[in-house]
Amino acid sequence: MTSLAAAPPERRVPRWLARHETLLAAVLIVALAILGALNNRFLTLDNLLNQGRLMTEVGLIALPMTFVIITGGIDLSVGSVVGLCAIALGYSWKNLGFPLPAAIAFAIALGAICGFINGFFITRVKVPPLIMTIATLALYRGFAEGISQAHSVRGYPEWFYFMGQGELFGVPTQLWLLVAAIVIAGVALDRTTFGRSLYAIGANETAARFSGLPVDRIKLVVYTLSGLMAGVSAYVLVSRVTTTRSDMGIGYELDVIAAVVLGGTSIFGGSGTIWGTVVGLVMIQLLKDGLALTGVKGDATIVVIGTVLIASTLLASSLQKRRDVGG
C-alpha cells in the first residue's frame, strides 16, 4: 500500500545500479559511434576537450547535486546561485574595489552561504527542499538582477581568463578542476563515512538517525557544498566568457538534475553514484554537441534531451520494479 510518488517504491539495489550504469555507458558509446560516423569532426581530441571545457560549469554542480539527491533532497537554486556569485565576483571587484583574488574567494564563499541558507531552512524549519529551493531560485536570481541592475562587468586582467580559456598541458584548465572534483567526490561518496551516511539518510532517514548518524548536520553540509560548487562554477563561467552578467546560469538546475537523474541516481534518494552522474553528464553534453555537428538545430536538441530524460527514468523504474520483490 504505497501512496503514489509520495511514498517511494522499493529502492534500487547497488548490484542493479552497476548494471544501469554499464547499460548507460553502452548506450553512450553506441551513440558516440553513430554520431562520430555521421560527422568526422565529432570524435576528434580537439572537439572532445573543447566539450569538456563547455561542460565543466554544469559538471562541477552536478557532483554535489548527486549528494543532495542521494539524501532524497533536491536543489533547484543552483542556477541562480551561479548568477548571484558571478555578480558578486564582478561587483566586489569593480565596484567595491576588492582585489580580484579576494573577489573570487568572496564569490565562492557567497555561494557556500547561499547553500547554507537552503540547508538551514530545510533541516531546521523542515521546509521541503523542492519548495525551499524554488523560493531561493527566485530570491537569489532576484538579488543578482537587482544588485547588478543587469549591468555587466568586463575588462578583467588577462591572468583571470586562464581558468576559463587557458590550457594546462594541452588540456583546458577547468577540465583539470572538474576531473579533480570528480575524483574527490567519487572517493568521498564511495569510501568515506560521509558518503555512506548519505545513502543511509536517503534510504531510511529514521534508521540513520536511530543509528546515531548526525542526519541534519550532514544535510546542511550537502546543501552548503552544492552552493559552494555553484560559486566555483560561477568563477569558471565568468572566466570563460570574460564578462559577468546577471543572467548567467539560468536553467542550469535543469541541466544538472537531468545529468544526475540520467546517471541513474534515484530521485527518491538512497542510490546513485558519481560515476553514473559523470556518464550522464558526458552523455548529455556529447549528445547536444554531436546532434549539433550532425546538423540538428539547438531547439530540436532540447527535445531529444527531455525525451531521453523521461525515457531513462521510465526504464530505470521498470527495471527496478522487476528486480525488487514487491513492497
Binding residues among 2-61 for other proteins as defined by CB under 8 A: 3-7, 9-15, 39, 41, 44, 46-47, 50, 54
Quick one: which of 56, 71, 271, 273 contacts other proteins (CB under 8 A)?
Answer: 271
Quick one: which of 124, 168, 180, 184 contacts other proteins (CB under 8 A)?
Answer: 124
DSSP class per residue in 74-108? ----HHHHHHHHHHHHHHHHHTS---HHHHHHHHH
User: How many Å apart are CA 116 and CA 203, to the nearest integer?
Assistant: 23
SS3 244: strand
Quick one: which of 97, 158, 170, 325 contacts other proteins (CB under 8 A)?
Answer: 325
131 part of the interface to other proteins, by CB under 8 A: yes
99 part of the interface to other proteins, by CB under 8 A: no
Rule CB under 8 A: which of 155-194 touch other proteins? 155, 161, 165, 191-194
Q: How far is CA 148 from the centre of its chain?
A: 25
Quick one: which of 25, 166, 317, 319 contacts other proteins (CB under 8 A)?
Answer: 317
Nearer to other proteins, 22 or 318 (CB): 318
309 part of the interface to other proteins, by CB under 8 A: yes
CA-wise closest residue to 175 among 124, 220, 224, 236: 236
CB of 107 to other proteins, least distance (A): 16
CB of 169 to other proteins, least distance (A): 20
State how beta strands 167-168 and 171-172 pair.
antiparallel
The 10 Å CB-count burial string (b at 16+, else e) for 149-188 is eeeebeebeeebbebbbeeeeeebbbbbbbeebbeebbeb
Quick one: which of 19, 25, 151, 176 contacts other proteins (CB under 8 A)?
Answer: 151
Quick one: which of 125, 157, 158, 169 contacts other proteins (CB under 8 A)?
Answer: 125
Q: By rule CB under 8 A, what string of x and - marks binding of each residue 247-266 to other proteins? A: xx-x---x--xx--x-----
Residue 63's Cβ-side half-sphere holds a number of Cα atoms within 13 Å equal to 27
Eight-state DSSP code of residue 271? -
CB of 310 to other proteins, least distance (A): 4
Nearer to other proteins, 177 or 266 (CB): 266
Among the residue ranges 106-114, 169-177, 202-210, 228-236, the one whose residues contact other proteins (CB under 8 A): 202-210
CB of 225 to other proteins, least distance (A): 14
CB 79 within 8 A of CB 111: no
What φ, ψ does residue 170 adopt, rounded to 5°?
A: 75, 5
Cell 549539433 appears where? 292
Nearer to other proteins, 41 or 322 (CB): 41
Nearer to other proteins, 7 or 169 (CB): 7
CB 263 within 8 A of CB 66: yes
289 part of the interface to other proteins, by CB under 8 A: yes
CB 271 within 8 A of CB 12: yes
User: How many Å apart are CA 35 and CA 294, to the nearest integer?
Assistant: 7
CB of 109 to other proteins, least distance (A): 18
203 part of the interface to other proteins, by CB under 8 A: yes
Nearer to other proteins, 22 or 242 (CB): 242
